[in-house]
Structure 1
Amino acid sequence: MNRQQAGVNVRSSRVARPSNESDTAALIPLHRQRLVVIGATLAAMLIAGLAVWLALGAMPDIGKNLPIERVVFVSATTAPLAEVDGEELKRFAAALRTRGATMLQVDLVSLASLVKQVHWVREVTIRRQFPSTIVIAIEEHKPAARWLATLNPEGEDAEVSTLVNSYGDIFKAAIADERRALLPQLSGPDGSSIDVLTRYASLVAPLKTIDRLPRTLVMTPRRAWQLTLDNGTSIELGRTDVDERIARFIRTYHDLPPLQLAGAAVDMRYQSGLTIRNRALVMSSPAKSVKTPPSRKRTA
Structure 2
Amino acid sequence: MQQLAVTNQPNTRYQIVGMVFLAIVLLSLVYAIWWLDDWLEDAQRAPIQKVVVSGTRVNIEDALIESTIRSKHPESFFEVDVDRLHREIEALPWVHRASVRKRWPNSLNIHVVEEIASARWNKDSLLNQYGEMFEAQLPNEILPDLFGPGGSEETALNGYRDMQTLLNSASLRIDELYLSERFAWNLRLENGIRLNLGRSEYVDRLQRFVDVYPLLMKQDKQVDYIDLRYDTGLAVGWKNASTNEQES
Matches within 5 A, 1:29-68: 60-61=37-38, 63-64=40-41, 67-68=46-47
Structure 2 unaligned residues grouped into runs of 5+ = 1-28
Describe the SS at the equivalent of 2:245. Answer: coil
Q: Give the one of 125, 128, 139 matched to 1:165.
A: 128
- Structure 1 residues 235 and 91: CA distance shift in structure 2, 3 A: same
Asked whether the equivalents of residues 141 and 165 of structure 1 are also in contact (C-alpha less than 8 Å), the reply is: yes
Match runs of 1:198-217 below 5 Å: 198-217=158-177
Alignment of 1:161-240 (within 5 A): 162-176=125-139, 178-179=140-141, 182-240=142-200
* CA–CA distance in structure 2, aligned partners of residues 223 and 144 of structure 1: 20
The CA distance in 2 between the partners of 1:287 and 1:231, in whole Å, is 24
Q: In the TM superposition, what is the alpha-carbon distance from 1:104 to its structure 2 partner?
A: 3.2
Which SS does the other structure have where 2:46 is aligned?
coil
The whole-number CA distance in structure 2 between the counterparts of 1:227 and 1:261 is 20
Identity of aligned residues (%): 25
What CA distance in whole angstroms lies between the structure 2 residues aligned with 1:70 and 1:84? 21
Shift, 1:175, TM fit: 3.0
For the residues of structure 2 that align with 1:141 and 1:245, how far apart are their CA atoms?
33
Deviation at 1:68, TM superposition (A): 3.3
Q: How does 1:116-195 map to 2 (within 5 A)?
A: 116-148=90-122, 153=123, 156=124, 162-176=125-139, 178-179=140-141, 182-195=142-155
Task: Give the superposition deviation at 1:244.
Answer: 1.2
Give the deviation of 1:73 after TM superposition.
4.0
User: Deviating runs (4+, > 4 A) in structure 1?
Assistant: 258-263
| Residue in structure 1 matched with residue 6 of structure 2 by the alignment | none
**Equivalent-residue separation in structure 1 for 2:90 and 2:210 (angstroms):** 43
Q: Does 1:288 align with 2:245?
A: yes
Partner residue of 2:209?
Answer: 249
How far off is 1:214 after superposition? Answer: 1.5
- SS of 2:240's equivalent in the other structure is helix
Gap regions ≥5 residues in structure 1: 1-52, 157-161, 292-300
1:109 counterpart letter in structure 2:
D
Local SS of the residue matching 1:124: strand
Q: Distance in 2 between matches of 1:259 and 1:144?
A: 35
What is the TM-score of this pair, normalised by structure 2?
A: 0.77
Instruction: Give the aligned partner of residue 69 of structure 2.
Output: 93
The structure number with the bigger radius of gyration is 1
What is the number of equivalent residue pairs in this alignment?
216
Deviation at 1:228, TM superposition (A): 1.3
Query: How far apart in 2 are the matches of 1:211 and 1:259?
Result: 19
